Amino acid sequence: MTIKTLDELISDGVDNRYVLVRSDLNVPLDDGRVTDDGRIRASIPTLQLLVEHGAKVIVMAHLGRPKGKPDEKYNLRPAADRLDELAPFPVEFAEDVVGSSARDLAESLAAGSVLVLQNIRFDPRETSKDDAERQELARELSSLTGNSGAFVDDAFGAVHRRHASVYDIAEVLPAYEGNLVRSELEVLSRLTKDPAKPYVVVLGGSKVSDKLAVIENLMTRADYLLVGGGMVFTFLAAQGHKVGASLLEEDQIDTVKDYLARAKEAGCEFVLPTDIVVADKFAADAEHEVVAADSMEASRFGASGIGLDIGPASGAAFAERIRSGQTVFWNGPMGVFEFDAFAGGTRAVAQGLKECSGLTVVGGGDSAAAVRKLGFSDSDFSHISTGGGASLEYLEGKELPGIAVLDK
């Protein structure tokens, strides 16, 4: 059986019919204000298409990790309000997941309107490891759609989760793949199936342990693997260099040594920074200086220095390598981009992708937030993924439960 598409659902007819949509509204908030609405904007086309064809749309989404109970910090209303501001259709908001507010608003929902349910993770059954509990929530969600409801999964950022609103609901209602999920998979497949060469992979972020599986899977496909961020210090330590008080996963040093050796045999070149921005503390106003990557403790901060960004020479070298690529995938910032003094490396990488004529994919999560914070627009890149973790798991070669359940 092949996955049924949104176009097929539209063709079957959705006028005056309830459609339950899993969207990705998991956006960063600051004092109740959405600071990056990229995922909200990405969710609109699928919702709009359903609305234009007369559907009664009920949106399920999560925000953060509220531990299975209501938590005002993770209230989904700011995201729903932002959706209402951006979208050309009316948006209502339920104060609960499947309670009286959700039921009453769903029952009175007009055709061509959208109802957003409260944070789906406020219900502990959403993420339960007990199949029966998740299935119970899925049945209650489906009951909001009457006798002819359908389910559309348009939340790529959640397809790697076996959750009630992603997996179990697809076993209760006729299930379809949303256009956002479809486009994400089409782009990511180009990174694993005969990618155009040279293929450049740029990895950053704090921990190398988070990226081991994707390194394992891509180093036999990529021509160059550029490494920055906090994870680079484990690589430098694996080469025998001291890294001061920088983030270091000592238990991964032997693994990294093995990867460096195997990558060379596979014809993949690891490219590490030649200079590092070292600071006296982890703070926006920290004293800092640029030192050679192989002699970090030669900084004036000695063994207490903390590496918070790749240096300018490394940023320039990374950008040059990126510009030469025909396929470029980037996941993870090069430094603490939230602090202006340590955003240079991330900015250089983003600029390199912008100037590259090949396929350029920003792998969601912190990378997507970084490029927007640094003033780049979505159109500067071929694709900005809405799913950080989901993108990585796809590139690791893992089965994504939210996709597998649609193919039944």
Q: Looking at the predicted structure, is the pLDDT value of residue 1 above 90?
A: no
Tokens of 86: 């951006």
* 83 Cβ neighbours under 8 A, 6+ residues apart: 25, 40, 43, 44, 91, 114, 116
pLDDT category, 408, cuts 50, 70, 90? Answer: confident
pTM summary value: 0.89
Tokens of residue 263, six digits: 């990558």
Asked if 222 contacts 384 with a C-beta cutoff of 8 angstroms, the reply is: no
CB 305 within 8 A of CB 278: yes
Indicate which residues carry an active-site annotation.
Answer: 39, 207, 365, 389
Residue 210 confidence (pLDDT): 87
Question: Which pLDDT value is given to residue 336?
Answer: 96
Q: Mean pLDDT over residues 235-264, rounded?
A: 94
In the three-class reduction of DSSP (H, G, I as helix; E, B as strand; rest coil), residue 89 is classed as coil
Taking only the tens place, the pLDDT of each residue in 377-406 is 999 999 999 887 888 899 888 999 999 999
**Residues 160-219: pLDDT tens digits?**
999 999 999 999 999 999 999 999 999 999 998 889 999 999 999 888 898 888 998 899
Residue 245: the pLDDT is 96
Largest CA-CA distance found in the chain, in angstroms, rounded: 71
Residue 312 pLDDT more than 70? yes
Q: Which residues are annotated as a binding site for ATP?
A: 211, 307, 338, 364-367
Mean model confidence pLDDT for the chain: 95
Amino acid found at 205: G
Closest CA to 330 of 316, 311, 346: 346
pLDDT of 365 > 80? The answer is: no
Q: What is the pLDDT of residues 97-124, one digit of tens each?
A: 999 999 999 999 999 999 999 999 999 9
Residues 63-72 pLDDT 10s: 999 989 999 9
Question: Which residues are annotated as part of the binding site?
Answer: 24-26, 39, 62-65, 121, 161, 211, 307, 338, 364-367
